[in-house]
Amino acid sequence: MTHALLSALTHASLLTTTERQQVNLAAEQNGTGVHASLIDTGLFTDRELARHLAHLFSLPLTDVHQYDYQSLCLQLALRPLIERHRVLPLSQDQDVLYLGIADPTETQCIDECRFITGLSVRPLLLPLQQLEHAIQRVYGQQITSTLTTAPVRSDEFVSQDALPEVTAEPDTQEDAPVSRYLNQLLLDAIRRKASDIHIEPFEQNCHIRFRCDGLLLRYASPPPEFAVRLVARLKILARLNIAERRLPQDGRFRLPLSQDLTVDMRLSTIPAQWGEKAVLRLLDHQHVPLSFEHLGLTAAQQHALQEVLDKPQGLVLVTGPTGSGKTQSLYAGLNYLNQEHRNLCTAEDPVEIQLTGVNQLQINPAIGLDFSSALRSFLRQDPDVMMIGEIRDQETATMAIRAAQTGHLVLSTLHTNSAADTLNRLRHLGVTSYDLGTSLSLIIAQRLVRCLCPHCKQAGQVPPFLQPHLPADTATLFVSRPQGCERCNQGYLGRTGLFELCLPEKQRTDTAPPTPLMRYQCVAQHTLTAAGLRLLSEGTTSVSELQRVIGLDDLQTSSGEVA
C-alpha cells in the first residue's frame, strides 16, 4: 500500500512529517500516486529513492537492461497484471520467477503473480522510471479503455438461461483473486477482439487461449487447480450446476462492462481427462458491422446480391465451412431487408445477434422445436422474409424450397465447400432438379482471410507461380511480421471475406429445356481464388494466409510447379 511506503521512509528518518504531508497533497492533486510524487516533488531522485528502498527492505537493486525481459513478458502473457501493478517479469530460473518492482510495500502483485503462474516469485527492486519505460517498450502505450476494471460480482450478470438449482453467492476472500483475474481476462479478450476464450486443463498446467481472427493464440498458462476455480466461477455466472462435472453443460449470461458496452457471453463446458474444458463465446452485438461494404464484396457482387434480395421470392444460400462468416453475411442481408413494410422471421440455433424489427426464434430440439417445425409455423405468420439458420435434413430443405416457390424470400446456410457441392448436397437431400431450377436464386460461397497489419507488414517477393495470375504491374507482395506489433496479433489485424456468387443463367430459347443443375454461373467470373488474388495484389493479405484458407495448389500445378 502506498501509505506504507511513506511510513517506512518516515520511520527511517528519510522523510519529515512536513515532507510527508507535501507528498500526500501532491499525490491527491496530480493523481500520480505516492511513489511518483516522491520523485516529482524533488525530495528524491529516481535512483536515489530506489537505493533507499533496497536498503530498507533488504532487496537487491538491479538494472532492467541486464535481462531479456521482452521475450519473457510475451511468453508469460501477464499484460493485465503488469500494467495494473506496474511490475515486470525479468527472468525465470526453472520454477522461480524474478519480478522487477518499484514499491516493496505492494505485496498484492507478488501474491497474484505467484497464484496465476504457479511459480515461486522473488522480487528485485528497479527504479520507477526505468520500470515504466521498460513496460512501454514491451507493450507500447498502456491500453486505454472505458471498460471498468472493478472486480466481477455475481449481481452484475443477467442470466438468459434460468437454472434455479444454482444460486450465485457473493465473492468470498478466497474467490476474490479468481474474480479479478476473470475480469482482466475478459477485458483483454475484448481489447484484442477475440471471438472465443478456451480454458483447457491438463496434467501440469492449464492453457488459456484466445481465438483472434480465426486462430487460437496462447494467452496464459496458470496452474491446473486454478482452472477448476475459474470454470466454477463461470458456471456460477451462467447459472449452471457447479456440482455436475460429468456431463456437458451450456449457458449464457450478459456482462455490462461500462455504461455504453454490454457483451453477451455463451459458455460451453465438457468433461475432459484432466477436468472440465470451458469455451466462452463473446457476442459483441454493438461492434458487428452489418453492411455489405464491411463484408468484402466487390461492387459487382454487391449489386448482384441486392438485386436478388429485392425480389419478392426465391432461395438464397450461403455456403462454406464452419467459421467462414456465413452467419454475419445472413445478418447483413437481414439488415438490408429490415424495413417497415416487411415481416421478417428467423429460426436460429442460437440467436447470436439481436436485430430490432426482426422476429427471431431460438430453436430447441429437446422440446421438438427444430428448423422444419419453425418453418411450418412461420408460414402461418404471414411472412415476407424467412431466415433458417441451417438446412440440415430433407424435411427442412423441402420446406425451404416450397416456401421459396410460394412467394417468400428464404435465406439459409449449408456446410459445403463450393457452389457446385451445394447443388450436389441439395440433390442428396432429395430436392429435385426441377425444384432447384424454380426456387434457387443465388448461391454464395465464402471464406474469411486475415488482413495484414497495416502498421507492421513487410514487403516480400512475388512467388514465380503467381506471376502469371497477378496484374502485370505487381512487383511486390506483402508478408506478415511474425512477432507483430502492439496493435495486431502476430502480424495480422482483422479479417475480410472472399466471395463467390453464383446466379442462374438466363433462359435460352432453344427447343431443349436447360438442365437446372447446369444453369449457374459466377458473377463476373469472380471465384474464391480470383478474390484472393485481388487481395494479394492490393496488399491486404499474404500468400501464406491464402494457402491456409483456400489453397493455391491448382495455381502451382498450372504453372508447372509441384505443390
- Could you tell me the CATH number of the domain that includes residue 255? 3.30.450.90
Contact (Cβ atoms closer than 8 angstroms) between residue 116 and residue 226: yes
pTM score of the predicted model? 0.65
Cell of 51: 537505493
Both 342 and 219 in one domain: the answer is no
Residue 59 belongs to a domain: no
**Amino acid, res. 548:** R
H-type alpha helices, 32-107? 34-40, 46-57, 69-76, 79-85
Cell of 255: 456482462
Q: Can you give the pLDDT at residue 2?
A: 46
User: Partners of 360 in the beta sheet?
Assistant: 346
Q: Can you give the pLDDT at residue 409?
A: 95
User: Helix and strand tally (H, E) in the chain?
Assistant: 20, 20
Q: Can you give the pLDDT at residue 285?
A: 55
For helices 224-237 and 176-191, angle between their N-to-C axes, nearest 10 degrees:
80
Whole-number Å distance between alpha carbons of 54 and 77: 28
Both 166 and 231 in one domain: the answer is yes
The residues, ordered by sequence, that sit 6+ positions from 137 with a Cβ below 8 Å of its Cβ are 70
Instruction: Please give the residue range of the domain that contains residue 247.
Output: 154-286
Both 230 and 320 in one domain: the answer is no
Residue 89 belongs to a domain: no
The residues, ordered by sequence, that sit 6+ positions from 499 with a Cβ below 8 Å of its Cβ are 295, 296, 297, 298, 301, 444, 445, 446, 526, 528, 531
**Range 522-527 contact pairs with CB under 8 angstroms and sequence separation of 24 or more:** 522/419, 523/300, 523/301, 523/304, 524/298, 524/300, 524/301, 526/298, 526/300, 526/301, 526/499, 526/500, 526/501, 527/500
Cell of 96: 522461480
Both 380 and 517 in one domain: the answer is yes
Residue 118 φ/ψ, nearest 5 degrees? 75, 15
Cell of 125: 527492486
Both 187 and 244 in one domain: the answer is yes
Whole-number Å distance between alpha carbons of 414 and 324: 11
Both 419 and 526 in one domain: the answer is yes
Residue 111 φ/ψ, nearest 5 degrees? -65, -45
Residue 256 belongs to a domain: yes
* H-run or E-run covering 305: helix 299-309
Q: Can you give the pLDDT at residue 506?
A: 52
Residue 551 belongs to a domain: no
Residue 81 belongs to a domain: no
Contact (Cβ atoms closer than 8 angstroms) between residue 544 and residue 447: no
Residue 208 belongs to a domain: yes
Cell of 238: 451462467
Both 331 and 431 in one domain: the answer is yes
Cell of 273: 481427462
**End position of a domain, from candidates 257, 286, 315:** 286
Tens of pLDDT along the chain (563 residues) come to 346 778 888 887 788 888 888 888 887 777 677 888 888 777 888 888 888 888 888 888 888 877 778 778 777 778 878 888 888 898 888 888 899 988 888 888 888 888 888 888 899 988 888 888 888 777 764 433 323 333 333 333 334 443 333 333 444 444 567 777 787 788 788 878 888 999 999 888 888 999 988 889 888 887 888 788 889 989 988 889 888 888 999 888 877 766 666 778 889 999 998 889 999 998 765 556 678 888 888 888 899 999 999 999 999 999 998 888 898 899 999 999 999 999 999 998 878 788 889 999 988 887 888 888 898 899 899 999 999 999 988 999 999 999 999 999 999 999 888 777 888 889 888 888 888 888 999 999 999 999 999 988 988 888 888 888 888 777 788 988 877 777 788 889 889 999 988 887 654 444 444 444 445 555 545 788 888 999 998 999 999 999 999 888 777 665 554 33
In total, the chain counts a number of residues equal to: 563
> CA torsion, points 129, 134, 140, 144, in degrees to nearest 10?
-50
Q: Can you give the pLDDT at residue 46?
A: 81
- What per-residue string of b and e applies to 334-369 under the rule 16 or more CB within 10 Å gives b? bbbbbeeeeebbbbbbebbbebeebebbebeeeeeb
Whole-number Å distance between alpha carbons of 281 and 353: 13
Contact (Cβ atoms closer than 8 angstroms) between residue 220 and residue 200: no
- Which is it for strands 88-93 and 96-101: parallel, antiparallel or unpaired? antiparallel
The residues, ordered by sequence, that sit 6+ positions from 425 with a Cβ below 8 Å of its Cβ are 414, 416
Residue 117 belongs to a domain: no
Both 361 and 345 in one domain: the answer is yes
Both 312 and 275 in one domain: the answer is no
Residue 181 belongs to a domain: yes
Radius of gyration of the chain (CA): 29
**End position of a domain, from candidates 251, 286, 321:** 286
The answer, yes or no, to whether the previous bond of 350 is cis (omega within 30 of 0) is yes
Number of domain units in the chain: 3
Both 204 and 336 in one domain: the answer is no
DSSP 480: -
- Using a 10 angstrom Cβ sphere, with 0-12 exposed, 13-18 middle and 19 or more buried, the burial of residue 198 is middle
**End position of a domain, from candidates 286, 315, 346:** 286
For helices 394-405 and 371-378, angle between their N-to-C axes, nearest 10 degrees:
20
- Using a 10 angstrom Cβ sphere, with 0-12 exposed, 13-18 middle and 19 or more buried, the burial of residue 135 is buried
* H-run or E-run covering 492: strand 492-504
Strands (DSSP E) contained in 322-424 are: 344-348, 359-362, 385-388, 409-414
Residue 418 φ/ψ, nearest 5 degrees? -155, 170
Both 300 and 415 in one domain: the answer is yes
Whole-number Å distance between alpha carbons of 327 and 457: 29
Cell of 317: 444460400
**Amino acid, res. 173:** Q
Q: Any idea what the CATH number is for the domain that residue 365 is in?
A: 3.40.50.300
Both 164 and 38 in one domain: the answer is no
